[in-house]
Structure 1
Amino acid sequence: MKTAPLWSFADIRPSNVDKKSDPNEIPVRLVNYTDVYYQKIITSELALMGATASDEHIARFGLRASDIIITKDSETPDDIGIPAIVESSTEDMVCAYHLSLLRPYCERIHPKFLYWYLESDAAKGYWLNSAFGVTRVSISLGTVSRLPVPEFDRETQIAIAGYLDREVGEIDSMIDKLDRLKAQLSTLHRTYLVGLGKRLTEAEAGDVIKVGLMLTKQSRDLREGDGVVTAFRDGQVALRSRRREDGFTMSFSEHGYQGVEPGDFVFHGLDGFAGAVGVSEDRGKASPVYHVCTATPLASERFMAWALRALSANGFLEAYASSVRQRSIDFRNWTTFAGLPMNYVPLDEQLHVADHLDDVTGRIDAMLAKVAELKSLLLKRRSALITDVVTGRKEVA
């Protein structure tokens, strides 16, 4: 397949328009990184951020229909080179920084063909190998300019663009339906939790009891070879090695670490408000930020895990907390945590509630897993189809 560098098909303009407003400049609407990343198609009807820009910036980075915008800076290489095409625009729409504006030479390349090529694995592989940086990765103007683009005659470009508009449009429609189903299932999941949370906090719905009367804090010794147990925000408490080990900071010292047994109630003192609470599936060790407990004769560990997730879902934990910091609520102090009040549910009913929620949410989780699997297959099909067509491996009529 014969190729030519991108600079021969488009005028490439890395934007440096910031989000600041200056009373001496002209009001504009900025197309930002997230608009490109999530929208894919930019239209004049989008709700865009207001800012100002100079005459020079407006002249150079003002948007026109058929322009293409790509992400040029990100935290990870796989988010570099994400394209969006401008379907319609107004005079006040301007491309913001962290993005590059590509203005296709329409006599040489069909804009929609170029967009679809930028969506292909061939282009993504080029960006992945060319991006540089550590904490933030980027692609330079020279790198963007040298992207090899397949050369097809204009009739073939138009045929490819039309074919992918239709075929990928159908795939995207199915993906949208799966996303809506996922949202509905997640809402149903939350509805059960909020309902339990309401029962536990409603005035005059039962005798009020403190968490500390239903849970006993443990302080077990560590054992050689124990792995790290983590409470994930979806309610699973398990060895980190069984699920994922990335995204965590390991301590240089295990001072304060404690043993965890299967069946223990485990609550994260900072992330518990966001759902990081459950019953441990494994034996291991946990950091001192966790409360590792067993139930008293008044309670069940499984019910208490559901109860704390419910109190998180209905906002009670956030409202009760006396110490709040950004993105977390501090319940590391046992006295504070043990002092949480809730309406008491008799033990036999606790077991019934826990069984019911285990069953219902288990079925919802199974459906969510199936939705995720189907979406993954569609995304792979989408990517393979685009790549095969724009590189000529699959011919279209």
Structure 2
Amino acid sequence: MTAPAVHESLLESSVFPMAPIGSIVVERNEKVGETDFPALSVGKRGVTPQLAGVAKTQTEGDRKLVRAGDLVINSRSDRRGASGLARQDGSVSLVYSVMTPKPELMVAEYGHHLLRSTAFQDEFFRWGAGIVDDLWSTNFTRMSRIRVPLPPLDVQRDIAARLDEVDAMISKLDELTKALRQRATDTAALFGLSDGYVSHREDAHSPLAGIPDHWQRTKFGYDFFESTERNGENPQGPLLSISEYRGVELNTRTNGQQASLDVSNYRVVRPNQLAANMMWLNHGGLGVSSLTGYISPDYKAFWISPRFYSRYVHHLFRSPRYVDYFGTIGTGVRPNAQRVTKTALDMMPVPLPPMDEQSRIANYLDEVTGNIDHMLAKVARLRDLLVERSSTFLVDVVTGRKEVA
């Protein structure tokens, strides 16, 4: 009988001691009220002050305390890479694991880069558990068993210093990305407004506020019809993802969880259907597809009424007014996980211009956003290359293949 293959982590080192995370950090599990400490965001940029537009928990006390110098990581696999070192006191959702490095064993800045390395993210995912791909998580108990390399403290500091330089370059790219996205947002903010046709019939907070008087008004449930088509035994195309920046696209991830082995229950998306991640609408997690494929069973797909031009719909629901509106109708106790229910979506007001105006709006925004998307793609590729080289450098040093220069 053949023995089962033994998993070997990319972080396994023969030159430095290995230790389980639980032995080099102390978990911080103190609950605080949401008004006691400033809210923090944890994402690909590390731990930062709460990002604008991110919904906050509605339950007093449902927060975890974070102190400056703590390491924080999101336990959910679909927030891959959302981790880092806190530079200030604050609070985060209970979905995060918060830990304080033991200073005699780990330099906090080294821990920051270690948690954010691709090799660690792969291990973090491998130790997780769950029933569907979007709810796969690795709690602190499981994570505490992951073995990581512990070079001498001076080597840890040298590694961190080198990778801090790379992070500074990545931050500049992020600033450029933000500026490009703001340009796209400024363009989209002009969506549907015509001088001389401004309506005063709507509440200022309604997504219909300021639309031309000659446009009709409808509700989502009247013109968008949920598709219940599933893969079954024969997948209709490749796995698709819903990008908050580009909408529906091919899932090109080569690491982490991509899809369950059994994709029969995954939802089929057809060209000109609207696909939506109902827990990420307030971040632009929806778009009209140009592809046939399948998406997570927790997402939804909708047929669009012939009264609407599909590309107009794509830009409309991804415009700032609707992204903000989704934040007001979402429900949930976790920031970054505000679900919009089908009932709430059906009641959502939608502007319905004449078809020729829909076409002109969509064509204009396709051209403008297409140029910006091309620039964003170039920046993203450069950023990914820096992140990849940063992660490779850390692994090469801790495994003895390279020395810190």
TM-score per shorter chain, which class?
0.5 to 0.7
Aligned mates of 1:219, 1:72 — CA distance in 2:
35
Match of 1:303 among 285, 293, 312: 312
For 2:204, the equivalent position in structure 1 comes to none
Report the AA paired with residue 184 of structure 1.
Answer: A
Report the AA paired with residue 322 of structure 2.
Answer: A
- Of stretches 283-292 and 378-387 in structure 1, the one that deviates more from structure 2 is 283-292
Report the AA paired with residue 312 of structure 2.
Answer: F
Structure 2 unmatched ranges of 5 or more: 1-13, 49-59, 131-136, 199-207, 333-337
Report the AA paired with residue 189 of structure 2.
Answer: V
Report the AA paired with residue 303 of structure 1.
Answer: Y
For 2:213, the equivalent position in structure 1 comes to 206
Q: TM-score, length-normalised on structure 1?
A: 0.57
Aligned mates of 2:182, 2:236 — CA distance in 1:
34
Shift of 1:209: 1.1
Aligned mates of 2:223, 2:24 — CA distance in 1:
64
Aligned mates of 2:191, 2:142 — CA distance in 1:
53
Aligned mates of 1:236, 1:381 — CA distance in 2:
28
**3-state DSSP class of the match of 1:342?**
strand
Q: 1:273 to 1:110 in 2, by over 3 A?
A: closer
Q: 1:32 to 1:313 in 2, by over 3 A?
A: closer
Match of 1:394 among 394, 399, 402: 402
**3-state DSSP class of the match of 1:295?**
coil
| Alignment map for 1:103-118 (pairs within 5 Å) | 103-105=102-104, 111=107, 115=111, 118=114
Report the AA paired with residue 295 of structure 1.
Answer: P
For 1:194, the equivalent position in structure 2 comes to 189
Report the AA paired with residue 103 of structure 1.
Answer: K
Tell whether the 8 Å contact from 1:269 to 1:331 is kept in structure 2 after alignment.
no
Match of 2:353 among 324, 330, 344: 344
Match of 2:178 among 171, 178, 183: 183
- Of stretches 71-80 and 352-361 in structure 1, the one that deviates more from structure 2 is 71-80
Aligned mates of 2:249, 2:149 — CA distance in 1:
46
CA offset digits 1:179-227 (Å, max 9, x no partner): 1122222222222222105558455833131348xx9778999899572
CA offset digits 1:268-287 (Å, max 9, x no partner): 59679655665442457999
Aligned mates of 2:327, 2:144 — CA distance in 1:
49
Tell whether the 8 Å contact from 1:267 to 1:292 is kept in structure 2 after alignment.
no
Q: Does 1:293 align with 2:304?
A: yes
**3-state DSSP class of the match of 2:402?**
coil
Greater Rg over alpha carbons, structure: 1
Aligned mates of 2:350, 2:251 — CA distance in 1:
31
Shift of 1:335: 8.1
Q: 1:284 to 1:5 in 2, by over 3 A?
A: closer
- Of stretches 356-365 and 181-190 in structure 1, the one that deviates more from structure 2 is 181-190
Tell whether the 8 Å contact from 1:112 to 1:161 is kept in structure 2 after alignment.
no
Tell whether the 8 Å contact from 1:81 to 1:127 is kept in structure 2 after alignment.
no
Aligned mates of 1:221, 1:17 — CA distance in 2:
41
Shift of 1:358: 0.7
Structure 1 unmatched ranges of 5 or more: 22-27, 41-50, 53-60, 152-156
Report how many residues are paired. 338
| Alignment map for 1:60-139 (pairs within 5 Å) | 69-70=70-71, 74-76=75-77, 84=85, 98-105=97-104, 111=107, 115=111, 118=114, 124=120, 128=124, 131=127, 135-138=137-140
Tell whether the 8 Å contact from 2:242 to 2:277 is kept in structure 1 after alignment.
no
RMSD: 6.1
For 2:150, the equivalent position in structure 1 comes to 149
**3-state DSSP class of the match of 2:191?**
helix
Aligned mates of 1:126, 1:304 — CA distance in 2:
37
Q: TM-score, length-normalised on structure 2?
A: 0.56
| Alignment map for 1:1-397 (pairs within 5 Å) | 2-4=15-17, 12=24, 14-15=26-27, 17-20=29-32, 38-39=46-47, 69-70=70-71, 74-76=75-77, 84=85, 98-105=97-104, 111=107, 115=111, 118=114, 124=120, 128=124, 131=127, 135-138=137-140, 143=145, 148-150=149-151, 158=154, 160=155, 163-199=158-194, 201=208, 203=210, 205-211=212-218, 227=236, 232=242, 234=244, 236-237=247-248, 246=259, 260=270, 262=271, 264=272, 266=274, 274=282, 275=284, 278-282=287-291, 290-296=301-307, 300-310=309-319, 312-313=321-322, 315=324, 325-326=331-332, 327-329=338-340, 336=347, 340=349, 342=351, 344-345=353-354, 347=356, 349-396=357-404
**3-state DSSP class of the match of 1:195?**
coil
Q: 1:187 to 1:211 in 2, by over 3 A?
A: same
Q: 1:283 to 1:206 in 2, by over 3 A?
A: same
CA offset digits 1:259-298 (Å, max 9, x no partner): 95x4x453759679655665442457999965413534xx
Q: 1:343 to 1:318 in 2, by over 3 A?
A: farther
Aligned mates of 1:269, 1:148 — CA distance in 2:
37
**3-state DSSP class of the match of 1:292?**
strand
Q: Which structure carries more helix by proportion?
A: 1
